[in-house]
Amino acid sequence: MELTIRPLTAELWPDFEALFGENGARSGCWCMYWQIGSLYRRRAPTQNRAAFRSVVETGPPPGLLAFADARPVGWCQIGPRPSIPHIDRVWRLRSPDHKPVWSVSCLYIAKGIRRRGVASRLIEAAIDFGRAGGATTIEAYPIDRRLSPSSSSTGFVTTFERLGFRYAPSPTPERPIMRLDLGQASS
């Protein structure tokens, strides 16, 4: 599948909305969880959409959109870990060493497009995006399907392993912290 991947800017907001649908991905998510925690569940999806739109309009781009034939088909949220402040309140994802990292905190692929390599391509583009932004390490929080039946909006361990990510110390094996040192990464 031929993909074009672009940073999410205000100009691309209508494409992001088209990908997430009227009510948001996965019934109401607008990538606000890592910003505000469980408050996003108590707010109307329209409030979360407006809040994330403000994040996008204020900049810098909070992630990448993938397009196939000009149609949005995938999303990857990536940025410096401090840009998603709630992550440090989740015990299983607290930084083991407070190393400055860029976080891949969300992956969403459109139904009908999944299992066709879009997530891998988005992660590869996220690595390049992070490197261009000055990142020295990219961090992710995928699900290990062998240990958890959970669905994932953060990707799967096997995908990150294939792309060179390694395990960082983390308290739960079913949702590990994985890192890629960009000094050793190849693009």
pLDDT-based confidence at residue 149 (cuts at 50, 70, 90): low
How high is the pLDDT of residue 27? Answer: 65
Average pLDDT, the chain: 90
User: Of 22 and 13, which is predicted with more confidence?
Assistant: 13
- Mean pLDDT of the region 4-18: 97
Q: What is the DSSP letter of 156?
A: B
> Which 3 state secondary structure label does DSSP give 10?
helix
pLDDT at residue 7, rounded to an integer: 98
Q: Could you tell me what percent of the chain has a pLDDT over 90?
A: 63
pLDDT in tens, 76-132: 999 999 999 999 999 889 898 989 999 999 999 988 898 888 999 999 999 999 999
49 close to 24: Cβ distance less than 8 angstroms: yes
99: left (phi over 0), alpha (psi -120 to 50) or beta: beta
- pLDDT digit string, tens, across residues 24-42: 787 678 988 899 988 888 9
Residue 181 has pLDDT above 90, yes or no: yes
Determine the Cα–Cα distance for residues 65 and 6; give it in Å rounded to an integer. 5
CA distance 21 to 49: 11
Amino acid at 80: P
pLDDT value for 120: 95
Would the pLDDT of 152 be above 80? no
Mean pLDDT of 177-183: 93
Lowest mean pLDDT: which of 22-26, 134-138, 168-172? 22-26
* More reliable by pLDDT, 169 or 15: 15
